[in-house]
Structure 1
Amino acid sequence: MPEVKITAEVRSEFGKGAARRLRRADKLPAVVYGHGADPVHIALPHHGTLMALKTANVLINLDIDGKSQLVIPKAVQRDAVRTGILEHVDLLLVRKGEKVNVDIYVHTEGELAPGGNLLEHVLNALPVEAEATHIPESVTVSIAGLEAGATILAKDIPLPAGTTLNVEDDVVVLQVLAAQAEEAEATEGEADATEA
């Protein structure tokens, strides 16, 4: 995964008023923590950070007062009403070679078996442990030909080298549900038979 470089400024003002002033200046309040160091409160460029966060588990090379540090987003607060507006970001310090716990998105490919069945994503993201500088953006699972009742467990999902599951092997990630129309027809049929 490529690194995104962002320049940050250390901030000394805190609270809602200071945060509002930062946002009006198109800056984003954030905090950097980890490795036992004291948290550092910073201001980031809003647009650059927003674009960087479009990539899941992005690795950010943060320049704070000329010192370069690698961080990954740990918590992102977004505006509840206005889309595309960030409120605050928590960033976790990481080092090359260090393992981190993250969630990676599960994408599917292929078509279910004919019959109008539905695919349920029990987990949209899979908890894994990966090297901080080699976090996969996502994993892809084939659902081709799966029929009602089929399940895909965490252990069935192929992971990139150096990435391990951070959840029990038998956790259901995806399952195929029977089409509702068929269930409704079966229920109606049972009701008709009871009336007769």
Structure 2
Amino acid sequence: MTDLFTLEAEVRTDLGKGASRRLRHANKVPAILYGEEKEPVSLTLAHNKVVRAQQEEAFYTQVLTLVIGGEKVECVVKDMQRHPFKPQVMHLDFLRVDASHPIHSNVPVHFVNEEAATKKGGTIAHHIAEIAVTCLPGNLPEFIEVDVADIEVGQTLHLSDVKFPEGVTSDELAKGESHDQAVVTLNAPKGGSDEASEEAAAE
């Protein structure tokens, strides 16, 4: 865990819309921490620290550490509200995690070796950008890599073709074969057969 994902937080007792507005004017971000059958705790964090941290893709998927009154609490981001047009974080929801309890999270997909795939004459079409997974907090990956080097023109890779890290399982695959989502297709060149892409789109 890097210092970037360790954030100082203060407990707040002044609640309500007016209080939240005052906090934002003071460059603070209102937040709430809940989960693990404990009482929710209302917090504030420094806006500049949050903005810096959330620029990293891993901020949304990795276990973070909140330091509250000297106590370290491990958690994940469950929701973030942004200002509709200003570069401002309006509110954060954090969910406590326990090292021994599995968690559900959406992990981004990184596609690799696309250049090798497209040299075969087709074009790559991504069908998903993230995958819902279940794992222990310590096994939560920053991203899931999908290697398309061996994909053939007209072929579609599905969730069942993805190599998941040890201890990580797909929430969709756990529901059965009918939930084996299309992940990526190497479409045939324009004018050629595009049946695989159409099938993937139908899914």
Match of 1:101 in 2: 104
Residue 69 of structure 2 is matched in structure 1 by 65
Q: Which of 148, 153, 157 pairs up with 1:152?
A: 157
Secondary structure, aligned partner of 1:182: coil
Query: Structure 1 residues 14 and 178 mapped into 2: Cα distance closer, same or farther (>3 Å)?
Result: farther
The alignment covers a number of residue pairs equal to: 181
Q: CA deviation at 1:38?
A: 1.9
Compared with structure 1, are the counterparts of its residues 116 and 26 closer, same or farther at alpha carbon in structure 2 (3 Å cutoff)?
farther
The change in CA–CA distance for 1:49 and 1:134 in structure 2 (over 3 A counts) is farther
Instruction: Kindly indicate which of the two structures has a greater share of residues assigned to helix.
Output: 2
TM-score between both structures, scaled by the size of structure 2: 0.80
Query: Residue 92 of structure 1 is aligned with which of 95, 115, 122?
Result: 95
Runs of 4+ with deviation above 4 angstroms:
none
* 1:147 to 1:69, Cα distance in 2 relative to 1, 3 A: same
Indicate the structure (1 or 2) with the bigger Cα radius of gyration: 1
CA distance in 2, matches of 1:59, 1:106: 18
Does residue 81 (structure 1) correspond to residue 70 (structure 2)? The answer is: no
- Spell out, residue by residue over 1:141-161, the C-alpha distance to the aligned partner (whole angstroms, 9 max, x if none): 111253442111112111111
Q: Aligned residue for 1:48? A: 49
Given that 1:113 and 1:146 are in contact with CA atoms closer than 8 Å, whether structure 2 keeps it comes out as no
Q: What TM-score results when the alignment is normalised by the length of structure 1?
A: 0.82
Q: Distance in 1 between matches of 2:72 and 2:48?
A: 20
Pick the aligned partner of 1:134 from 132, 139, 145.
139
Give secondary structure in 1 for the equivalent of 2:128.
coil
Partners of 2:168 and 2:2 in 1: CA distance:
17
Which is strand-richer, 1 or 2?
Answer: 1
Give the corresponding residue for 1:191. none
For structure 2, which runs of at least 5 residues remain unmatched after alignment? Answer: 193-203
TM-align CA RMSD: 2.0
Q: How many Å apart are 1:67 and its aligned residue?
A: 2.4
The answer to whether the 8 Å contact 1:113/1:145 transfers is no
Q: Deviations over 1:135-180 (max 9, x none)?
A: 100011111253442111112111111111111252211122334x
CA contact (8 A) 1:52 1:58 kept: no
CA distance in 1, matches of 2:20, 2:124: 42
1:16 deviation in Å?
Answer: 2.6
- State percent identity of aligned pairs: 30
1:5-64 deviation digits (Å, cap 9, x = unpaired): 211111122233222211111110110000122211110111222222322413222122
Gaps of 5+ in 1: 184-196
